[in-house]
Amino acid sequence: MGNRLAASTSLYLRQHASNPIAWHAWGEEAFEEAARRDCPVFLSVGYASCHWCHVMAHESFEDPDVARVLNEHFVCVKVDREERPDVDEAYMLAVQLATGRGGWPMSVFLTPSRKPFLAATYVPKEPRGGHPGFQALCLRVEEAWRTERDALEAAAEEFSEAIARVQARQAPASDVGLSQLPDQAVAALAHDFDNRFGGFGDTPKFPPHTAIALLMACARRAGAEEMRSTAASMAHATLVQMIRGGIHDQVGGGFHRYSTDAAWLLPHFEKMLVDNALMLVNLGEAAESGTGETEVYRRTAARLVAWMERELRLPGGLYGSALDADSEGEEGRYYVWTEDEVRSALGDRAAAFLSAFGFEQDGNFADEATGERTGANIPHGVLNAAPFDADLGRLLEVRAERPPPALDDKAVVGWNALAMGALARMGFLDPALRLAEVLEGVVETDGGVPRVVSTQRPSTLGYLDDHAFAAQGFFRVAEATGDPRWSALAKRIVAKMVSEFEDPEGGFFATGVHHERLLGRTKPVFDQPAPSGNAVAVECLLRAGRQDAAERAVRSLAGWMAHAPQATEALLRATMPLIAQPGFAGFQEPVQIRLEPEAWAVEGDVARGRILITIAPGHHINSRRPPAKWLIPTSVEFEGLDATVGFPEDAELGWDGELELPVTLQVSGQDSFEVVVRYQACTEDVCLEPSVQRVAGRLRRS
């Protein structure tokens, strides 16, 4: 049977046009029908290149028996998460609240008033692990809708209220000074750094685009040499390991979505424009740093651009959003090789290639779902593959004869703008200017930006990140070309962004004043892994000369940077130009330290004075012997001098308010001294990173 998806601008929706399910696109029609029929809504959210979305489609959505149940008892709605990120975000919160995790495909059951009451991700057709299969689950929901309606509606209210609370959550209180945040972020990243393979944290490993960008910025920042060196080494080591890994398409260029193992060998084979645009910028900055594998970075960037032009470019000049992970019904089939296939293609040169690129007779590739070896190999392990360029070119010719993964022909405007800016930043001006010309044509006169261009038609209102990424991209083209036409367009987009998305109290909402209101409005602050909309908005505000709005945004979001530095890396990087401005005071530290009097009088071989410590309301600092071993004690030291410091009596919960510490200092012939105060500021809920303040003092002799 046909359904309502055949004419959709979304490839993902069109992929489901021949399902026996009477799918609706998201909109009033679907929910009005559900209200008329007094039945629940089944919402399925995914995207075209999603492997497990295909699995659930083949198992359940193409099954006539499953379709019969869905059509009889539900109104079914299909959403492309890349086209409607607001819908995806709202109901993914329901999934995370229900299951403690997220992922796609998303499967959510709603009331006709759009409120979720049951939420999950991929649901197998058959029972598994004590859970019912998808068809059985649908029948249980239908029965509960008839017999336990009050309980389902109560659950829907509870879900909706929880989602609204999360979306309206304000930044936690923090008076941490901005100047401390870069060092804190580098320290946090160093704690999670994988010294063997690069990257951060556990598997799966996603390319840490925003972390690398922040580390590169910190490596250039004036400051302690140790911090700068640590930042640079982590960034370069991670780039090198990814370039060597199977996550890097050694044959065709570009990078896959993520690695399922710690060594960057076994990728999830989806290839996305947004990832590769961000990688391109980081490769460019790494090459410009003059350290690390400069020529390797440039070669990798050039091959990445060649892949984008060859495999992502659409007829209208923009890039599609992604290449599927699957081809010929198998994940990764397009990208893996047997030893025999390489020998057939390369002849006498095969042995050297197989040895260099880590091939194994039984294969080095294990299926992501089963973990079993398949006999296929992922080329990897070579950093500078230039000596093998002829071999890689031959394998690319052979690979081109295979059925390729599907290209999602939906051009996400924000992601194309990221690519445009990255190309301009790297000096690939021809494709950058082509994108600029095309994107200029879809941006409205007042700077309004659409979300997608599909079949060469703008479609749906753009969100915050579309506007911020577009402005950033046009600013970068202006810098690369010196043409004020592009900076003028970027400033119009910034003005539109401010009028549509800004919160008067600071920061920007993900949705604009003309978007559909769902369960709430969020301010995107966390990188996922693309830079958050607020981070790029702050950068663009500064470029556009709107420093007041930038400072207002940073001030309202500073608490997130202090409490979650590894989730707000892009926002911290965008804030660094503020920190670097001469005379910029930043935000108030929770702990202020000064000396009284300004010059301490010397009598014989001693000087006496006082250290005054002022602690902001709602904060305290730990005493010298805090009750828990993980709390940092307060200490006072004088560089190279002996001193007696009169501390107050230790308090179990630390000291607050104002402290006055009398000091007797042993001196000789010097005229000045330096006091070093180490402490950890805490609130009732959380302790901040340990801090050090150095205060210079003078000595006065009569």
- For 170-195, what is each residue's pLDDT tens digit? 777 765 567 778 888 898 899 999 99
Q: What pLDDT, on a 0 to 100 scale, did the predictor assign at position 689?
A: 67
Q: Which residues pair with 258 in a beta bridge?
A: 268
* Top mean-pLDDT range of 30-44, 86-100, 568-582: 30-44
**Residue 456 pLDDT greater than 70, yes or no:** no
Positive or negative torsion for Cα 280, 411, 464, 530:
negative
If you average pLDDT over residues 486-515, what whole number do you get?
Answer: 93
Torsion, CA 540, CA 546, CA 548, CA 550, rounded to 10: 0
Confidence grade of residue 369 (pLDDT, cut at 50, 70, 90): low
**Backbone φ, ψ for residue 42 (5° rounding):** -100, 115
Q: What is the DSSP letter of 59?
A: I
**Residue 368 pLDDT greater than 70, yes or no:** no
pLDDT (tens digit per residue) in 501-549: 999 888 999 998 888 888 888 899 999 879 999 999 999 999 999 998 9
| Mean pLDDT of the residues in the chain | 90
Percentage of the chain exceeding pLDDT 90: 62
Helix (H) / strand (E) containing 213: helix 209-220
If you average pLDDT over residues 406-427, what whole number do you get?
Answer: 95
Q: Residue 45 in 3-state DSSP?
A: strand
**Residue 435 pLDDT greater than 90, yes or no:** yes
Helix (H) / strand (E) containing 220: helix 209-220
Q: Residue 97 in 3-state DSSP?
A: helix
597: preceding bond cis by omega (within 30 degrees): yes
* Top mean-pLDDT range of 424-433, 552-561, 596-605: 424-433
pLDDT (tens digit per residue) in 283-308: 999 999 887 799 999 999 999 999 99
**Residue 329 pLDDT greater than 90, yes or no:** no
Positive or negative torsion for Cα 507, 165, 152, 120:
positive
Closest CA to 413 of 463, 455, 483: 463
Confidence grade of residue 393 (pLDDT, cut at 50, 70, 90): very high
**Residue 586 pLDDT greater than 60, yes or no:** no
**Backbone φ, ψ for residue 80 (5° rounding):** -85, 115
**Backbone φ, ψ for residue 611 (5° rounding):** -105, 125
Confidence grade of residue 372 (pLDDT, cut at 50, 70, 90): confident
Contact 534, 553 (CB under 8 A): yes
DSSP string over 632-664: PPPEEEETT--EEE-PPPP-TT-B-SEEEEEEE
Closest CA to 80 of 387, 332, 408: 408
DSSP string over 599-616: EEEEETTEEEEEEEEEE-
**What are the CA-CA distances from residue 659 to residues 613, 615, 680 (Å)?**
5, 8, 15
**Residue 1 pLDDT greater than 50, yes or no:** no
Contact 546, 498 (CB under 8 A): yes
106-110 and 681-682 beta bridge pairing: unpaired
If you average pLDDT over residues 649-664, what whole number do you get?
Answer: 88
322-323 and 271-272 beta bridge pairing: antiparallel
Contact 108, 94 (CB under 8 A): yes
529: preceding bond cis by omega (within 30 degrees): yes
Q: Residue 13 in 3-state DSSP?
A: helix
* β-sheet with 643-645: strand ranges across: 635-638, 672-679, 691-701, 591-603, 606-615, 658-666, 643-645
**Residue 227 pLDDT greater than 90, yes or no:** no
If you average pLDDT over residues 435-446, what whole number do you get?
Answer: 92
Q: Please indicate whether residue 548 or residue 475 has the higher confidence score (pLDDT).
A: 475
Q: What pLDDT, on a 0 to 100 scale, did the predictor assign at position 460?
A: 78
Q: What pLDDT, on a 0 to 100 scale, did the predictor assign at position 693?
A: 82
Burial class (CB in 10 A: 0-12, 13-18, 19+), 224: exposed
Q: What pLDDT, on a 0 to 100 scale, did the predictor assign at position 528?
A: 85
Helix axes 413-426, 429-442, angle to 10 degrees: 150
What distance in Å separates the CA atoms of residue 306 and residue 631, rounded to the nearest whole number?
52
CA angle 663, 669, 675 (to 5 degrees): 35
What distance in Å separates the CA atoms of residue 35 and residue 39, rounded to the nearest whole number?
7
Count CB neighbours of 254 within 10 A: 24
Confidence grade of residue 56 (pLDDT, cut at 50, 70, 90): very high
Percentage of the chain exceeding pLDDT 70: 96
What distance in Å separates the CA atoms of residue 405 and residue 408, rounded to the nearest whole number?
10
What distance in Å separates the CA atoms of residue 120 and residue 103, rounded to the nearest whole number?
9
| Contacts with 447 (C-beta within 8 Å, 6 or more apart), sequence order | 467, 489, 492, 493, 494, 495, 496, 497
